[in-house]
Every structure is written in C-alpha cells, then in structure tokens.
Amino acid sequence: MDYRLADLLDVSSLNRMLDSFSEIFGMAIVVVDAEGIPLFKSSQHKVCLNYHRAFPISLERCRQNEETVNGLLRKGSLASSRCLNGMMDYAMPIVIEGERLGALIVGQFFNEEPDESFFLRQAGECGFDEAAYLEAVRRVPVIPAERVGHIVEFLNQFVHTLTMMGLERLRKVRVEAAEAEQERLEAKAAMSRAERLVSIGTLAAAVSHEISQPLNYIKLTASSILYWHQRRKQMELDQVMDMIQEISNEVDRIEKTITHLKTLVRKPETELELCDLNAAVGRALELVGKQMEAHRVGLTLELEDKGMNVWATMTGLEEITINLLVNAVQALDTVEGPGKEIRVRTRVERKSVVLEVADNGPGVSEEMKQKIFEPFFTTKPAGENTGLGLAIVYTLAANYQGRLEVENTEPRGATFRMVLPLADG
C-alpha cells in the first residue's frame, strides 16, 4: 500500500476519544503504526510509570513482553500476554484491505485479584519500596478476561471504522489531486503551445525581413529580363546567365532561411545536449539581422571566442537570443532619432556562461522589473503583443538550470542577462 495508518486517521480526534475511554475503564491504551511508532498513547498507571519502567530489571521485563506481543501480532489475531512484571496486555492488529497497518494495544490491568506475594518478591528483586509499591499495585484495575475481550474487540472495530473512513477520505483527496494534476498538465501543455506560437510569430516577423530582400531582388532581376524581352532588345548571353545566377543565389538564401525556420519550429527537443552559445547567437542573428537593419538599429558583437559550451538545446538557445533581440528592437522603437544600438556580449564568468543583450532604449522601471518575466505582462497596447516573449526566455533559462536578470544601463537603456552553468569539458 502507498499509505500509512497516520494518513487515514484524524489523530487529534482519536487521541481525545481514546483518552476518555482510558479514563472510564482504567486501561492504558496505545495505537501504533506498522513500524511500531505510537500514534496515540494514554497515560500510564503509577505502578508502571514509577516502578516497572523506572528500574533496570523490571524495564527489561517490559521490553521482553513487548517482543512477545509483537511476535503474536505478526500472526494476525488477538494476542494476550501476562508480562513478567505480572500485568496483562492485549493486542489486536489493525488490518486494512488485507494488510496490517498497525495495532491496538491495551494493558496495565489484571484479569483477577493480584497475588500480593508475587509483587512482594518482585519488590525485593528490583529494589522497590515494598509498601509504596503494593499501594500502587492495589490501584491497578481488575477486569475479567471475557470482558477485556469484548472491550478490545469494540476498540478495534472503533479504530477500524475510523480508518476506513480515513481511507475513503484519502482516496477522494487523491482523486481530486489527480484531477488537479491533470488540469495543471493540460494548462501547462496549453501554455507551451501558446509559447511556441508566440515564438513562431516572433520568428515569422524576423524571417519576413530576411526573405523580403532576396524576393525583391529576384522580382527586380526577372522584371529587367522581361523588360528587355518585351521590347525585343537583345541581351548578351553572359549578361543573362549572370542575372540567372544571381536569382539562383537569392533562392539559395531564401531556402537557407526557411530550413533554419523549420528547424526552430519543429517539435522541441527534450534531451539536453552540449551546445555552443556563440553558435546559437550567430544563428539567431541570421534571422533577426535584417529586422534590426530595417529598424535602423546598430549592432555591436563581443563574443568570447572559446569555452562557451552549455547543456541546453540549440533551438532553445536560439529562441532565447531571438526573443531578447526582438525585445530590444521593440524597446528602441519607442526612442526617436539616430544612434539606436544593441550590444550582444558573451563571456565565461567563474563556472558560468553569460549572455548579455543590452540596448540604449528607455530602460526598465522598478515596477516593471517585478513583473517583466510574468506571462502575458506587456506595456504595449492590446493586440500588439502577447507578453509571452520574456516569459519564454525565463522558462527556458530555468530549464537549463540557469537564470535571467535585468538591470538598467548607464546612461540609458536596459541589459538582459542570462547566466547558465558552464558545461564540463
């Protein structure tokens, strides 16, 4: 079973009820789990507390009796034993769905009037004060064996009923927990799909700049050839072949971009691999470089030339870099005038690899810093941005055992910094 007795019982309620029962019948009552750990333990009689369990000889006799009772319990039925100190103990296993989860033990009473001569001898053997010890013995209740059997059966049924109620409650809680976990997984999958769609949208914006230029060149070249043909003017064959070669080159450029895009938007890898962060930065710039040019944003690259390996996925690192670059471009779009600049820097710092994307835009307010990596947080008007780009970066960095930070740059602008563990070797 994947649960314990303590998981099924309201222990505090059980304690109150069994305490009252112990007071009524004068029995000491103990409920233990399968490992022998007490879940409930009533007060003990003075004869056991101050004598039998307080002196070495009698304490050893108590321990021997506990071993005897445990041996009987393993047989799975009601066990009774007269301990070597002269007291009675009854124990019954608590069995749920065929498995013993614990035991109910009652003791510290007599089945018949005690033989005081036995206890006088024991007082001498153990070094007890005879008069005080006999007075404690006389306070122990006498409960006939037949009545004890009924009491133990009732208590066992009582605990069993409480346990079954607890089992039903536990099953209900686990069903609810499983349903909640399923809902969480479905929500996570939906978020993952949304994140992928946002990433694809970001890439599509970058790719449109990368493809539009060669398409325009192809159209212009083809139009030139058609222009001369329609006017029935002759062109040199070598000139025509050069133009066709240029068209072919531009098609190759488009094909390379589309292949790169297909790599990024395919099903994400789940297995981490050794990746060169600089290579990921280079591939990301291939896609967003033209977009930066179109927005009149300059680029400064400071890439450390070796030792930039991390455990990640190449597509994930590219997504991180693309989103950080696009975020910087969007920040610079709010700034008027020339001189817009993005600086991309990689370096090794102690046992970490660092990627920094800095811009000279408006910077990030303290209030924004508290929310900027939260999903759906955006400062742009509704419909212009989903607010998932930086959340994706934050999640991916965490998946690679890294972290994402943001700080303002003097005299103006913001720096987004990703720190990942340096891969050994």
Last residue of a domain, one of 178, 195, 222: 178
Confidence of residue 319 (pLDDT cuts 50, 70, 90): confident
| Domain extent for 85 | 5-178
Residues 21 and 168 in one domain: yes
For the CA atoms of the chain, what is the radius of gyration?
Answer: 40
Kindly report the backbone phi and psi dihedral angles of residue 135, in degrees, each rounded to the nearest multiple of 5, phi listed first.
Answer: -60, -40
Is residue 134 within 8 A of residue 116, CB to CB? The reply is yes
Token pair for 22:
């112990």
Q: How far is CA 307 from CA 233, 269, 351, 419, in A?
A: 59, 23, 11, 14
For residue 217, is pLDDT > 90? no
Distance CA 46, CA 53 (A): 10
Does residue 216 belong to any structural domain of this protein?
A: no
Structural domain ending residue among the three candidates 178, 202, 218: 178
- Least confident residue range of 135-139, 146-150, 156-160, 393-397: 156-160
The whole-number average pLDDT for the span 14-37 is: 84
Distance CA 51, CA 126 (A): 9
Residue 316 belongs to a domain: yes
User: Mean per-residue pLDDT for 8-18?
Assistant: 80
* Residues present in the chain in total: 425
Q: Do 314 and 415 share a domain, yes or no?
A: yes
Q: Is the peptide bond before 93 cis (omega within 30 degrees of 0)?
A: no
Q: What is the CATH number of the domain that holds 332?
A: 3.30.565.10
Q: In this structure, are 167 and 290 located in the same domain?
A: no
Domain contains 227: no
Coil vs helix vs strand at 327: helix
- Tokens linked to 366: 């303290």
Residue 144 lies in a domain: yes
Weakest mean pLDDT among 130-134, 233-237, 315-319: 233-237
Better pLDDT: 7 or 188? 7
Two structure tokens written together for 205: 């914006």
Q: What is the mean pLDDT of the chain?
A: 82
Other residues' Cβ atoms within 10 Å of the Cβ of residue 92: 23
Domain membership flag for residue 388? yes
Q: Which residue has the higher pLDDT, 155 or 46?
A: 46
The residue among 147, 178, 209 that closes a domain is 178
Task: Determine the Cα–Cα distance for residues 260 and 315; give it in Å rounded to an integer.
Answer: 10
Q: Is residue 140 part of a domain?
A: yes
With CA atoms as reference, report the closest residue to 307 among 343, 272, 274, 260: 274
Residue 274 clears pLDDT 90, i.e. is over it: yes
- Supply the pLDDT for residue 261: 60
Asked whether residue 155 is assigned to any structural domain, the reply reads: yes
pLDDT tens digits for 221-271?
888 788 777 877 777 788 888 888 888 887 877 776 676 566 555 555 568
Rounded Cα gap, residues 88 and 107, in angstroms:
6
Please tell me whether residues 273 and 406 are part of one structural domain.
Answer: yes
Could you give the 3-state DSSP secondary structure of residue 348?
Answer: strand
Residue 120 has pLDDT above 50, yes or no: yes
Query: If pLDDT is split at 50, 70 and 90, which confidence band does 102 have?
Result: confident
In the chain, what's the furthest Cα-to-Cα distance? 138
Specify whether 174 is located in the same domain as 317: no
Rounded to an integer, what distance in angstroms lies between the CA atom of residue 120 and that of residue 81?
Answer: 21
Nearest-angstrom CA–CA distance, 212 and 254: 9
- SS3 category, 43: coil
CATH of the domain at 153: 3.30.450
CB atoms closer than 10 angstroms to residue 37: 11
Do 297 and 161 reside in the same domain of the chain? no
177 pLDDT higher than 50: yes
Cα 199 to the chain's mean position, in Å? 25
Q: pLDDT confidence of 210, banded at 50, 70, 90? A: low
- Which residue has 């005081």 as its token pair? 116
The reported pLDDT for the residue numbered 194 is 59
Distance of CA 139 to the CA centre of its chain: 56
* DSSP-based three-state secondary structure for 35: coil
Domain count, the chain: 2
pLDDT at 301 over 90: yes
Question: What b/e sequence results for 342-356 when a residue is b if at least 16 CB atoms lie within 10 Å of its CB, and e otherwise?
Answer: bbbbbeeeeeebbbb
Please choose, from the candidates 288, 401, 294, the residue with its C-alpha nearest in 3D space to the C-alpha of residue 344. Answer: 288
Query: Is the pLDDT confidence value at 206 over 70?
Result: no
C-alpha distances (whole Å) from 402 to each of 183, 237, 411 are 27, 58, 28
Same domain, 273 and 142: no
* Closest among 420, 278, 274, 397 to 351, alpha carbons compared: 420
Give the pLDDT band (50/70/90) at residue 115: very high
Alpha-carbon distance of 370 to 143, in angstroms, equals: 70
Spatial distance between the Cα atoms of 409 and 404, rounded to a whole number of angstroms = 16
Whether residue 414 is predicted with pLDDT greater than 70 in this model: the reply is yes
Residue 189 lies in a domain: no
Q: Is-contact 156 92, C-beta < 8 A?
A: yes
Contact 377, 387 (CB under 8 A): yes
Q: Are residues 170 and 278 in the same domain?
A: no
Reduce the DSSP state of residue 310 to 3 states and report it. strand
Q: What is the dihedral of CA 235, 236, 238, 239, to 10 degrees?
A: -40
